[in-house]
Amino acid sequence: MEEIIISGFGGQGTLFAGQVLAYAAMDADFHVTWIPSYGPEMRGGKARCTVIISDQEIGSPLVRRPSAAIVMNIPSFETFEPMVKPGGVLVVNQSLVPHRSQREDIRALYVPATELATDMGNMRVANMVCLGALVQALGILPLEALEQALDRHLAERHRKWLSLNKEALRKGAEFA
């Protein structure tokens, strides 16, 4: 079972990244929960989601000690870095988080996600860069599963971003 937290500011696509991961796992016949959480401010406020992926029924959707986390900003790093289970994975958007984990019992990946996304033409796909890195590091799903989830579940109004989202996933996986 993987328990994952994806956290950042509203507008960074943390909830969308969690949805893509959840859909990919669901399409691969895993049991899945996806729970969003955000402040009343939405854009610029706190936004996070939890995703649980398991090959067995999930007893509780609450995540207290995640096996992995993506942190897109400093407050998310400060909150969730200490919570990752020993042996877990922490993906840090190094473009916005200058901190380094002092923990030796987790695998921390420092991905310049915003810079990579900007170089690709749209900084808004930094979430997909981080998601690609996480999936590559965890090995729970093949990258193609996330690409297929985008194909199957991306809303029609966002389809113009489909190829860029896929490219961002691959860029993050390569970086990991």
Please tell me the distance from the alpha carbon of residue 90 to that of residue 104, in angstroms, as a whole number: 12
CB count within 10 Å of CB 51 equals 25
Structure tokens at 163: 């190829």
Beta pairing class for 68-71 and 2-9 = parallel
Residue reference for tokens 């921390």: 108
Q: How far is residue 123 CA from its own chain's centroid? A: 15
- The helix or strand, by DSSP H or E, that contains position 24, with its residue range, turns out to be helix 14-27
How does residue 42 score in pLDDT terms, banded at 50, 70 and 90? low
Residue 109 CB neighbours (<10 A) = 18
Tell me the two tokens of residue 54. 């398991």
- pTM of this prediction? 0.94
| Gap between the Cα atoms of 18 and 65, Å rounded | 17
Token representation of residue 4:
């994952």
Domains of the chain: 2-175 (3.40.920.10)
Region label for 11, one of left (φ > 0), alpha (ψ between -120 and 50) or beta (otherwise): left
Q: How many CB atoms lie within 10 A of CB 55?
A: 10
Q: Can you tell me whether residue 91 is helix, strand or coil?
A: strand
Give the strand pairing for 46-54 and 68-71: unpaired
Hunting for tokens 């019992």 — which residue is that? Answer: 105
pLDDT per position as a tens digit, 115-127: 999 999 999 999 9
The pLDDT of residue 46 is above 90: no
* 56 DSSP assignment: S
Of the pLDDT bands very low, low, confident and very high (cuts 50, 70, 90), residue 73 is: very high
- Binned at pLDDT 50, 70 and 90, residue 45 comes out as confident
